[in-house]
Structure 1
Amino acid sequence: MGRNVWAGWLASVLLLMVAPAHAGLLKYELTGVDNLSFVLDTSRPIDGVSAEDAGVFHAFYFTNIQNTSAHNPFPYLTFYDSAFGGGLSAGIGPDDGSSNYFDLVSVPSFSPLFNGSVSSPSLITGTFHFADLTFALANPDVPVDQLPVIDTLKVTNITSAVPETGTWVMMIFGFAALGCMTTFRRSAQESAVL
């Protein structure tokens, strides 16, 4: 029986060593003209890049995003870099502005909702303010910091991160060591009595 127990412990440790850590979930709450919320898993890979300009992509998107709006799910949810207004849009296609449910541009400074590049973004938390992209394009003489805010987006982390694999391995080894010490101590006491 001792070998089976050790084999089980070893299998558990090896499994934990290859299991990825789960980074967490971000909740997006949009209030103002557009009132809705959705949750994104920060470990989910992007579904594609879009908004090509001179061979450079300026946006990434996720598909089939469950949300609390009447347009559930969003077929495409697109995040833009600062060159394209640092905004957010949801619609039928990643570059189909005519059929979007909303097109928002980040004000006052076109700040994107992520760090890094569009091919490898890192979603961030915080509070962001948006103007309507259609209004911004129709009124190019209005400075960015004077565009009327129509929506506010609050991005919060709703889960704490799961402990890293190394932490789990150390815990398992600790429990195994306690079990071994208890077993050997009990064996030593029993043989001393005999």
Structure 2
Amino acid sequence: MKFKYSLASFISSSALLAVIALAGVRTADAAVVFTSQAAFNAATTAPGVDTFTGFYLNGSTPSPIARSAGAYSYSAAAETSDFFGAGTSANPWLSTNTAADSITFYNFATAISAIGANFFGSNLGGFFQSGDIALSLTDSYGVTSYTIFGATTSSFVGFVSDGTITSLTVSAVQPAGGPLWPTVDNLTLAQGLTSAVPEPSTWAMMILGFAGVGYMTYRRRKQAAPTVA
């Protein structure tokens, strides 16, 4: 009996946490975070992409820079130094000349409510290096942070806001074994749909939460039922 009570308590607690987690995805003060580019595309409209074609790969580029992603123009700044063109001439990436520097995207000429890209790390030579990448989005509601652990060149993260996005800052979490440079490819600017649809994992969490709440209610009613002599 004690085991059943503990199990019920665990399920009810998990259900509550699941519902809270779901609510956290859609609160007014936090943007929705997508780790699937397909889901991000489904939650946005009128996207523009900057693949960083033509970016200088043989040396540093003074910061800030002014570029465009489709119909959207924007600025990007390295925190203390200049930019460095990583990748290859066939597929250039935006990176910094100093590993500890962050990259900030801002000054969007047309107001946007969605932004995403492939975020990962690179080494001294401008080639891919696995590591953790920290993202910090600022919109009209506040700041939403997200960290990609063990990012690869295919690691995509997108933010969709109910408000207006003012900036996105990208930085590399410096590993103990050596420096890691923050790197970005395929920057996408867009307009978020009025109600962004959560990813399947979020729906699964919601279903688990509702099922747990239902079970908790059933257990309480069963336990409260009077014993018939």
**TM-score of the two chains, using structure 2 as the length reference:** 0.30
Decide which structure has greater strand share: 2
Decide which structure has greater helix share: 1
Give the number of the structure with larger relative contact order, counting CA–CA contacts within 8 Å between residues 6 or more apart.
2
Instruction: Look at both structures and tell me which one has the larger radius of gyration over its CA atoms.
Output: 1
**TM-score of the two chains, using structure 1 as the length reference:** 0.34
